[in-house]
Structure formats: C-alpha cells, structure tokens
C-alpha cells in the first residue's frame, strides 16, 4: 500500500466498510459471507481488537469453539477490555462449566460496558453455579432492569430466576 493511501486512511475506511458488510451479512443469517467480510477487514487492519472479537463471535456462532477462543485471545492481547472478546470468552467458559473463569471474564466485560444486560445475566447465572445466590440475585436484578429499559422479553426470564434465587436464599437461611 502506498504511503499516500496509508496517510489518507484508505485502509481504515475500507476495513470499516468490510466490518459493516460483515454485520449486515450476519443479521441476514449469512454466516459465510459475514466471516469473509470480517476476514477482509482484518487483512486491512490486523491490529484492530474489535474485528478479532467479531471474528471470534462468528466462529462461536459457527460452533468452532477453538477458533473462537483464539480470536478472542488475540483481541484481548490488543485490548484487555474488549467487551465482546471478554463476553465471548465468558460464554465459552460457562459452556465448559468453568464457573470461576466465566465469572472473571464476565466481570472484565462489565468493566467495558457496565450496563449490558446480557453480561449481567450471565454473571448472575455464573454466581448461581458457584453457589453465591445472594450475588446472583443482585446481578440478575440489574439484568432485569436493563432488559426492561429496552422492552426486551428476556426481562420475564430474569424475574423467574429472581424468584428461584429468593427460594434458594430462604432455604439457605433456614439451615443452621
């Protein structure tokens, strides 16, 4: 690439176009096209953490967990607080029942976007799996509020888990 093109930011502009095409293809459930576009964006800007995280997300959606983990790891090397990479790694750890790792990764994702209800939900579920139902209830309450503010139907699911946590906390309180 010529120095003039680099100076004008043409690779950055083209990479952003590819990124937007990838997101559009993904929203249309065209995963192969989405992956091709994000790969092209990464060829143009290989040091962009968000692109690596999205590439990991697409791999995760394609059930390629090892590739997803590698992409997330690269994104985190570039930016330790890349939200999607930390969230994705948390989801992988959650799926593998590595509750402690999942909790740590979801907390890192929250450092980047503190009010993201999906992350709050999974952090609550992770705390529940760790047997910390008081903490789980606090996180789930925050997730329910986040979903409610966007009129998301997942708010009802959060409230059913909150009722379950109340029951578990009541049973724990009764045990001498």
Best CA proximity match to 42, nearest among 4, 81, 75: 75
The domain of 129 spans 115-176
Phi and psi based region of residue 175 (left: phi greater than 0; alpha: psi -120 to 50; beta: remaining): beta
Model-level pTM greater than 0.95? no
Specify if 150 maps to a domain.
Answer: yes
> How many C-alpha atoms does 73 have within 13 Å on its Cβ side?
8
pLDDT tens digits, one per residue of 123-153: 999 999 999 999 999 999 999 999 999 999 9
On whether the CB atoms of residues 128 and 112 are closer than 8 A, the answer is no
Our count of domains for the chain comes to 1
Q: How far apart are CA 159 and CA 50, in angstroms?
A: 32
pLDDT at position 10 is 64
Per-residue pLDDT of the chain (176 residues), as tens digits, is: 445 445 555 678 899 999 999 999 999 999 999 999 999 999 999 999 999 999 999 999 999 999 999 999 999 999 999 999 999 999 999 999 999 999 999 999 999 999 899 999 999 999 999 999 999 999 999 999 999 999 999 999 999 999 999 999 888 777 66
């Amino acid at each position: 690439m010529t120095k003039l093109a680099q100076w004008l930011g043409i690779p950055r502009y083209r990479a952003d176009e590819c990124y937007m095409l990838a997101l559009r293809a993904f929203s249309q459930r065209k995963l192969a096209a989405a992956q091709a576009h994000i790969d092209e964006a990464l060829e143009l800007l290989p040091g962009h953490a968000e692109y690596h995280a999205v590439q990991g997300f697409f791999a995760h959606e394609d059930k390629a967990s090892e590739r997803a983990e590698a992409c997330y790891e690269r994104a985190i090397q570039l930016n330790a607080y890349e939200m999607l990479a930390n969230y994705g790694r948390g989801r992988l750890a959650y799926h593998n029942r590595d509750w402690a790792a999942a909790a740590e990764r979801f907390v890192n994702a929250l450092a980047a976007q503190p009010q993201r209800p999906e992350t709050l939900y999974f952090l609550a579920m992770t705390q529940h799996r760790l047997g910390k139902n008081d903490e789980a209830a606090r996180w789930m309450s925050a997730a329910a509020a986040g979903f409610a503010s966007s009129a998301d139907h997942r708010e009802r699911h959060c409230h059913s888990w909150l009722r379950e946590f109340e029951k578990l906390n009541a049973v724990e309180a009764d045990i001498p």
